[in-house]
Amino acid sequence: MRIYLFFISFILVFTSCENKAVEIKPLKPKKPVDFEELKKRGELVVLTENTSTSYYNYRGQIMGFEYDVLSDFADSFNLKLKVKVLSNSKNFPSYLNQKKGDLIACNYTVNEERKKQHNFSYPYLNQKLVLVQRKSNKKVVEIKDLNNKTIHVRKHSSYYKTLLVLKKKHNLTFTILDLKEDLPTEDFVSLVAKGKIDYTVSEENIAKLVALNDARIDVQTILSKPFPIAFGLRHDNVQFKDTLDCWLKDYVNSDRYKSLISFYYRIPDTLFEHQNLKNIYKISEYDSLFKESGKNNDIDWILMSSIAYQETRFNPSAIGPGGSYSMMQFMPNTGPGYGVYEDSPVSQQIEGGTKMIKKLLNKYKHILLEEDRIKFSLAAYNAGYCHVNDAMKLAEKFELNPYLWKDNVKEMMLNLNDPDYYNDSIVKCGAYRGMAVKYAEEVYNRFRKWKLQYK
């Protein structure tokens, strides 16, 4: 009897455990749906900065290598691209993790410390770090030449860590000073050019873009092997990362990607030589077209010839940064408004450029001095009206004359690459680090010279 009861009890226990085991289902990891939720929202929010590599306003068009890459990604998934510009790079990780944005796009170097804060996408660039120095100083050619030098970088940056490694590896005694103010790297590169600091460190692509616009800078000394550049993502955005990575792996091999690299990072080996003319009987083979367009629009044809020379050296097939095209370098969002397309004949290219200058001259008709009126118009032709308007507002704020070029608006145009100015609340188009002042001066001076020389 006892044996029977024991047998029955054993069956009940076994059956009970078996039933219990069936009822307790193993926990399955929740399938990540972060990208599905983003698609339902219909908006991709990008955290970026106002720089020449990420996001900026050029001739009235929003541009930037990373902006264009992410615009292509957003278009692929029918998403609206929304941009949040941050002025302090320290805020990028916290803004991302607080879900104030979906990803970080700021020429972002991948390193181990940042990986602890957030994830990274598949890299879309690789960049070496270079030393930024003035050409007027004794050049630092090799890493060992850094001995006893003082180098300024942000302490929380990847540059700081690289310098510490170099210091230890090569047993050097250079000093690393923390740049307390948190600004985009290209602003610190500009500090070197201005002589406010002697040395800093930058990614090669940023440094070369600044050096292209500022002949005082040397960026030839390489400090590191290439580092990957990628977008910053939250750790929990697994599906988003998988989707973006898959897209990027195909994208970096595409013709579109190669064209963007060419547009944004093609650095000419040599600049065009200026014409050395004593007496001019013919400025270009298109003189008759310039004369006709100038007569039709009451604009001096030699001024238009000087613009065409500055823009493309009279090349009607030229393609420039951001897809600007034609002899007169129209942006894709501007050219059609003046009847100029990529396949337009030379006569239409010149006519469109002449009409645009006429429109700008009329915009500044309240400026009394003709020379200033022309220079305002030329600066707007090169940089876009918005940046010139910002410079005029700044001139007025700092009790300068917003209708005079020299020592007034010209100075404010130059100051638009200074954060103390471009972060001012009255500035609508952000930083401007281009060559509009140099452009306006060179085009105008050539115009006056050619006027005297032309026979």
Please state which of the ranges 24-28, 90-94, 377-381, 412-416 shows the lowest mean pLDDT: 24-28
Distance CA 352, CA 328 (A): 8
Whether 207 shows a pLDDT value over 50: the answer reads yes
Whether 425 shows a pLDDT value over 70: the answer reads yes
Q: What percentage of the chain exceeds 70 in pLDDT? A: 89
Q: Helices then strands (H, E): number in the chain?
A: 18, 14
Q: Are 96 and 103 in contact (CB under 8 A)?
A: yes
Whether 12 shows a pLDDT value over 50: the answer reads no
Q: Which domains does the chain have, with CATH numbers?
A: 34-124+230-265 (3.40.190.10), 129-224 (3.40.190.10), 287-453 (1.10.530.10)
Residues recorded for the chain: 455
For residue 274, the model assigns a pLDDT of 42
Distances in whole angstroms, Cα of residue 57 to Cα of each of 2, 414, 446: 92, 16, 27
The residues assigned a catalytic role are 311
Distance CA 66, CA 69 (A): 5
pLDDT band with cut points at 50, 70 and 90 for residue 329:
very high
Distance CA 138, CA 357 (A): 44
pLDDT band with cut points at 50, 70 and 90 for residue 31:
low
Whether 355 shows a pLDDT value over 90: the answer reads yes
Q: Are 401 and 407 in contact (CB under 8 A)?
A: no
For residue 5, the model assigns a pLDDT of 43
Average per-residue pLDDT for the chain: 87
pLDDT band with cut points at 50, 70 and 90 for residue 271:
very low
Query: What's the whole-number mean pLDDT along residues 120-146?
Result: 93
Which residues make beta-bridge pairs with 422? none
Whether 395 shows a pLDDT value over 60: the answer reads yes
pLDDT band with cut points at 50, 70 and 90 for residue 279:
low
70-87 pLDDT, tens digit each: 999 999 999 999 999 998
Whether 398 shows a pLDDT value over 70: the answer reads yes
Query: What's the whole-number mean pLDDT along residues 258-286?
Result: 66
Q: Fill in the amino acid letter for 264.
A: Y
DSSP per residue over 426-450, as a string? T-SS----S-HHHHHHHHHHHHHHH
Whether 51 shows a pLDDT value over 90: the answer reads no
Whether 29 shows a pLDDT value over 60: the answer reads no
Q: Residue 82, SS3?
A: strand
pTM, two decimals, is: 0.69
Distance CA 109, CA 114 (A): 9
For residue 17, the model assigns a pLDDT of 43
Q: How far apart are the first and last CA of the chain?
A: 131
For residue 42, the model assigns a pLDDT of 94
Whether 127 shows a pLDDT value over 80: the answer reads yes
Whether 433 shows a pLDDT value over 80: the answer reads yes
Whether 158 shows a pLDDT value over 80: the answer reads yes
Query: What's the whole-number mean pLDDT along residues 288-299?
Result: 96
For residue 412, the model assigns a pLDDT of 96
Distance CA 374, CA 376 (A): 6
Instruction: Copy the structure tokens of residue 269.
Output: 């080996």
Distances in whole angstroms, Cα of residue 126 to Cα of each of 110, 204, 349: 10, 10, 38
